Amino acid sequence: MALKFSSNGAGLIGLDITATSVKLLELKPTKKGHKVVSYTVEPLPANAVNEKNLQDIEAVGEAIRRAVKRSGTRTKTCAVAVPSAMVITKVIQMPDDLKPHEMDAQIQLEADQYIPYALEEVNLDFDVMGPSEDADGMVDVLLAASRSENVEDRTAAAEIGGLDVKIVDVEPYTLEGAFQLISHQVPNQGIDQTIAILDVGASMTSLCVLRDQSLVYTREQPFGGKQLTEEIMRRYGLSYEDAGRVKRVGGLPDNYESEVLSPFRDLMVQQANRFLQFFFSADKNDYVDQIVLAGGCTGIPGVAELIEQRIGTPTIIADPFSEMPVGSDIPAQRLKDDGPAMLIACGLALRGTDR
Ligand SMILES: Nc1ncnc2c1ncn2[C@@H]1O[C@H](COP(=O)(O)OP(=O)(O)OP(=O)(O)O)[C@@H](O)[C@H]1O
Ligand SMILES: [Mg+2]
């Protein structure tokens, strides 16, 4: 199975396999945009996935099976993503007059120059991005390679869940694709703008910077809501499941806000600042026009306001479903609440439409 981030997969499920859950989303193109046709978030047991590694493929597969069943979808194919840390990407130049099969052959021949693994052990794919700015008569080609085991674990889990993997994408590129669903939230639709999407999940935080709607920078680090969950478990003697639930619905003693939540909120601001510094030190400019927060930790009240105030950059929370009609059997409020944590699923689901 190849890493297939450039193929087209009409009518497929976007399947984000995360630290906490399996997120399933299916979109259908409409005249004005997209419609949500199926959606489920199925929780995973603790440690089934550890920092993006599938530790318990069977448990993930069973969760996928439950998600598919609950969603009511009849689609049997899906798109999944691997995190960028599992992928090596490189932009190379190729003559612009090569036919697709010629380019394929030439890249297969030359790939070992760019990829530090034995080629039998990797899944390789490429995508022609457009005319090269650096060389006449050449096109820029994005080459991506992931070790086969990363792809195979996800394929195996999907198979247990009854799904066939048609596309394997790379997380930051799914976010780039998903940006079209949130572009109405940012100045000038992101055209000529520098937009930082900061996704604070359960175990990982990632920054993707888009300039003029294209991905220019990405970085991920282990940080997320799991730290807060663990602190709640320790302090209040709760199980993983209960701690996860009270974070959302409340019911903790009065000192929770000042002694646990508030310090975590401060940590999030610090992390946001660090991520931006990483970007600034790698980039010729040192500003972003807008921060878009994503991930489940955006559910922490006041966090966007605090980041905006301390960092001084306008900050909003991603709301990908705000302009989308949803099927009558879809829990619309839950979908909206989960929206900020569904960007990767959105980008994957869009691969199943005419992007
Ligand atoms: N209302 C809320 N208040 C505080 N934390 C919340 C809220 N809702 C969700 N979370 C936390 O957000 C985290 C889950 O976010 P998200 O779904 O983005 O992560 P993930 O995609 O599963 O994980 P990762 O991206 O790290 O693999 C969990 O730690 C969860 O407890
Ligand atoms: Mg996530």
pLDDT tens column, 271-296:
999 999 999 999 988 899 999 999 99
Structure tokens at 284: 């010729």
The minimum-distance atom of ligand 1 relative to the CA of 52 is 27
150: nearest Cα among 51, 220, 76: 51
Q: Say if residue 1's pLDDT is above 80.
A: no
User: Considering every ligand atom, which ligand is closest to the CA of 229?
Assistant: 1
Q: Mean pLDDT, to the nearest integer, of 209-228?
A: 95
Q: Give residue 2's pLDDT.
A: 40
Structure tokens at 176: 């780039």
Q: Say if residue 352's pLDDT is above 90.
A: no
Q: Give residue 111's pLDDT.
A: 85
Q: Say if residue 306's pLDDT is above 80.
A: yes
Q: With bands split at pLDDT 50, 70 and 90, how would you rate the model's confidence at 310?
A: very high
User: Considering every ligand atom, which ligand is closest to the CA of 344?
Assistant: 2
Work out the percent of the chain whose per-residue pLDDT is above 70: 97
**How many whole angstroms from 202 Cα to the centroid of ligand 2?**
7
Q: Give residue 149's pLDDT.
A: 87
By alpha-carbon position, which residue is closest to atom 9 of ligand 1? 296
Q: Candidates 15, 16, 17, 18: which one to mutate for ligand 1, based on the most atoms within 8 Å of Cβ?
A: 18
Handedness of CA 307, 309, 314, 318 (dihedral sign): positive
Q: What angle do CA 136, 142, 144 make, to 5 degrees?
A: 155
The minimum-distance atom of ligand 1 relative to the CA of 21 is 22
Q: Give residue 109's pLDDT.
A: 86
Q: Mean pLDDT, to the nearest integer, of 229-245?
A: 95
Q: Give residue 355's pLDDT.
A: 47
d(CA 8, CA 316): 31
CB count in 10 Å sphere of residue 164: 12
Q: Which residues line ligand 1 (CB under 6 A)?
A: 18-21, 201-204, 224-226, 229, 244, 247-248, 295-297, 299-300, 341
Q: Mean pLDDT, to the nearest integer, of 16-45?
A: 95
**How many whole angstroms from 342 Cα to the centroid of ligand 1?**
10
**How many whole angstroms from 295 Cα to the centroid of ligand 1?**
6
Q: Which CATH class is domain 219-316?
A: alpha beta
Q: Say if residue 124's pLDDT is above 90.
A: no
Q: Say if residue 239's pLDDT is above 60.
A: yes
Decide if 325 contacts 33 (C-beta within 8 A).
Answer: no
Q: Mean pLDDT, to the nearest integer, of 309-337?
A: 94
Beta bridge partners of 116: none
CB count in 10 Å sphere of residue 119: 11
Q: Give residue 10's pLDDT.
A: 59
Q: Where are the domains of the chain?
A: 219-316
**How many whole angstroms from 342 Cα to the centroid of ligand 2?**
8
The minimum-distance atom of ligand 1 relative to the CA of 41 is 17
321: nearest Cα among 206, 197, 199, 184: 184
pTM: 0.92
By alpha-carbon position, which residue is closest to atom 5 of ligand 1? 297
**How many whole angstroms from 336 Cα to the centroid of ligand 1?**
14
Determine whether 134 is exposed, middle or buried from the number of CB atoms within 10 Å of its CB (0-12, 13-18, 19+): exposed
**How many whole angstroms from 34 Cα to the centroid of ligand 1?**
25
Work out the percent of the chain whose per-residue pLDDT is above 90: 77
Residue-wise pLDDT for 151-176, tens only, equals 999 999 999 999 999 999 999 999 99
Structure tokens at 2: 């190849």
**How many whole angstroms from 207 Cα to the centroid of ligand 2?**
12
Q: Say if residue 7's pLDDT is above 60.
A: no
Q: Mean pLDDT, to the nearest integer, of 303-317?
A: 98
Out of 110-124, 130-144, 209-223, least confident range: 110-124
**How many whole angstroms from 111 Cα to the centroid of ligand 2?**
30
User: Considering every ligand atom, which ligand is closest to the CA of 200?
Assistant: 1
Residue 82, C-beta contacts closer than 8 angstroms, at least 6 positions apart: 3, 52, 146, 150, 151, 154, 168, 169, 170, 171
Q: Say if residue 11's pLDDT is above 90.
A: no
Q: Identify residues whose C-beta is under 5 A from ligand 2, the ion.
A: 18, 201
Element (H, E) at 87: strand 87-95
Residue-wise pLDDT for 40-58, tens only, equals 999 999 889 998 899 999 9
Q: Is 271 left (phi over 0), alpha (psi -120 to 50) or beta?
A: alpha
Q: Candidates 53, 86, 246, 247: which one to mutate for ligand 1, based on the most atoms within 8 Å of Cβ?
A: 247
The minimum-distance atom of ligand 1 relative to the CA of 19 is 27
Q: Say if residue 82's pLDDT is above 80.
A: yes
Decide if 44 contacts 244 (C-beta within 8 A).
Answer: no
User: Considering every ligand atom, which ligand is closest to the CA of 295?
Assistant: 1
Average pLDDT, the chain: 92
Determine whether 111 is exposed, middle or buried from the number of CB atoms within 10 Å of its CB (0-12, 13-18, 19+): middle
**How many whole angstroms from 132 Cα to the centroid of ligand 1?**
39
d(CA 176, CA 348): 11
Q: With bands split at pLDDT 50, 70 and 90, how would you rate the model's confidence at 121?
A: confident
By alpha-carbon position, which residue is closest to atom 31 of ligand 1? 244
Q: Mean pLDDT, to the nearest integer, of 182-195?
A: 97
